[in-house]
Amino acid sequence: MDVKVVLGERSYDVVIDGGGPAAVAPRIAALGARRAVIVTDDVVGPLWAGVVRDALVRCNVATVVVTFPHGEVNKTLATWSALVEQIVAAGVDRSTVIVAVGGGVVGDVAGFAAASVLRGLPFVQVPTTVLAMVDSSVGGKTAVNLPTGKNLVGAFYQPSLVFAGLASLATLPARELVAGLAEVVKTALIADESLLRLLERDADRLRLGDPEALAPVIARCVAIKAAIVARDERETGDRIWLNLGHTVGHGLEVAAGYGTLLHGEAVALGTLAELRWASARGWSTNADLAPRVARLVARLGLPTSVPPIDLFAVEAAMRLDKKAAGATIRVPVVISVGHMTVVPVPIDSLREMLTS
C-alpha cells in the first residue's frame, strides 16, 4: 500500500510493504540512483543493512554501509559529525542517496546528515520500528539532541521515499515494539475515534506484534500523518498536534537520562499526564477519556505511572521545549478524540502538568 505525502515538487510515497527492507532496492534504483550510502546502527545493521546493500548492488546501485552505536544517547552532534565525515570519505556526489535503515534515531541522524552534506543529498527512509514507521520517518523532521533537550538541532528535510517493510518488525525487541505503540495511540487521539476503537479491540494482538493486526494500524497512522504534514509541513499550524504527550514526555525522557525511558514510553506517560491535566482544567469535553486511554496504554504493555524522578529536573527540561514562545509554551490539547486545540501554557505553570 502506498500513501502519498503531497508537498508540491517535494512530494513522495510512503510504501507499506509486507516484505522485508531489501524490497526497497528497485524503488531506489527507480529514483535514478547509481550510488548509495546506507546509514544504520550496530543493532539493526547486522540484521538488515547487509541484505539492503546486496539488493541495491543487484540493482546496479554501488552501496557502502556506515554504522554508528545505537540508542537515543548516541543521537548527538558527535555522532552526526562522525557520520558526515564518513559519508564524505565514501566519495559522494550530489546524486548519491543516503538510505537510513533503522529506527527513529537512525532516521533522524541520517536525515540531518543528508540535509547537511553538500547542502543536501537525496534521502530515503527505511524504518524498521513501529515508532519510525508511524511517526518519525514521515514528514521530514531530522535532528540530534543536546544534553539539555531533545531535537534542539536539526532541519526540516523531506525524504524522496519512505519504505516500511513490515517483516522487519519480526526482529524488533518486545519493549521497542510496545514503545512505538504510544505514537499510535497519540495519532488515534488527535485524529480518529475509529482507530482508537481498533486499538482497543486488537490491543492484545498489537502488544504481541501480530503482523495482521499491525499492518492496518500502521497504514492508518501513516495516512493521518501524511495528511497533517501535507497541510502544515513546517509546524506553523496543525502539525503541532503531533506533539501531544511530548511536552511532558520529552521532559521525562531528558530528566530520566536518554535511554532510561524509551521515547515511546515517555510519550505514553506524557500523553496520560497531559490528558489528566486538560481534563482537570475542563478543556476536555469527555471526563472518561484519560481513564479510557490509561486502560488501553496498560493493555498495550506501556507504563502508566511515572518512575521515581526529580520533578524539578523534568520541569527544567520542559522549559527548553521547542514549542516555547516567550513566557509560554503552546501545548496541544484533546477536546475529544479527533478534535484538538492548542493552549498557551505559562512556563511557570508547567509543573501543574506533572501533578494533575
Residues involved in catalysis:
119, 141, 183, 225, 235, 239, 243, 246, 250, 263
Q: How far apart are CA 247 and CA 351, in angstroms?
A: 11
Estimate the share of the chain in helix, then strand, then coil, as percent rounded to the nearest 5.
Answer: 55, 20, 25
Sorted by sequence, the CB contacts under 8 Å of residue 91 that are 6+ apart come out as none
Cell numbers of 143, please? Answer: 535532528
CB-based closest residue to ligand GLY: 242
Instruction: Tell me which residues touch ligand GLY (CB under 6 A).
Output: 135-136, 139, 141, 239, 242
Q: How far apart are CA 63 and CA 37, in angstroms?
A: 6
The residue (of 22 and 269) whose beta carbon lies closer to ligand GLY is: 269
Contact 28, 56 (CB under 8 A): yes
Min separation Cβ 310 and ligand GLY, Å: 26
The residue (of 192 and 202) whose beta carbon lies closer to ligand GLY is: 192
Min separation Cβ 15 and ligand GLY, Å: 19
Tally of residues, the chain = 356
Q: Bridge-partner residues for 41, per DSSP? A: 68
Min separation Cβ 246 and ligand GLY, Å: 7
Min separation Cβ 227 and ligand GLY, Å: 12
Enter the DSSP assignment of 306: P
Q: How far apart are CA 252 and CA 4, in angstroms?
A: 34
Q: How far apart are CA 117 and CA 318, in angstroms?
A: 31
The residue (of 36 and 131) whose beta carbon lies closer to ligand GLY is: 131
The residue (of 136 and 284) whose beta carbon lies closer to ligand GLY is: 136
